[in-house]
Amino acid sequence: MTKWMMIFAVVMGAGAALAQTAQIPDFSDRAKKGQALFLTNCSVCHGDTALGTDSGPPLIHFFYRPGHHDDNAIRSAVKNGVEAHHWEYGDMPPVTGISDAERTSLVAFIRELQRANGIK
Ligand code: HEC
């Protein structure tokens, strides 16, 4: 590849990343509750559709597939926070005021969203 072709490929790649939008599934009732909680408590860092922001990573990501981060890892992230280890956004603080049942709803929302976007 010539140098110019490489620059072109990088620019096109960046454009594709910016244009990325999530597929929104027909959420279960539980996931809809989770979605409301997510929009209030999580989207400031993870984005409305969990595609990430300048303050936090996408959760629609291969790293967070169920086989690598199981449902308990999601629960624990919310309850205890996360020390930065996969990215360079800094630590995730614990999210207070969320009950056990609400954590289950958040898990349902994240998993249904992931599945709709090919993260299984
Ligand atoms: C202040 C910003 C912020 C908020 C608010 C936030 N997160 Fe995070 N979250 C992060 C960052 C940063 C990471 C990545 C840490 C790393 O480098 O691995 C992360 C990682 C995660 C992970 C991966 C956990 C792991 O074990 O690696 C999950 C799941 C997650 N967040 C879910 C949530 C949920 C659900 C909420 C809302 C209840 C939420 N986050 C709110 C910043 C945030």
Are the C-beta atoms of 37 and 108 separated by less than 8 Å?
Answer: no
Measure the CA–CA gap between 83 and 95, rounded to whole angstroms: 13
Q: Is the CB of 88 under 6 A from ligand 1?
A: no
Q: Is the CB of 78 under 6 A from ligand 1?
A: yes
Q: What is the pLDDT of residue 102?
A: 98
**14 alpha carbon to ligand 1 midpoint, in Å?**
24
Measure the CA–CA gap between 8 and 101, rounded to whole angstroms: 48
Q: What is the pLDDT of residue 8?
A: 52
**77 alpha carbon to ligand 1 midpoint, in Å?**
6
Q: What is the pLDDT of residue 20?
A: 77
pLDDT (tens place) for every residue of the chain, 120 residues total? 555 555 555 554 444 444 479 999 999 999 999 999 999 999 999 999 999 999 999 999 999 999 999 999 999 999 999 999 999 999 999 999 999 999 999 999 999 999 999 999
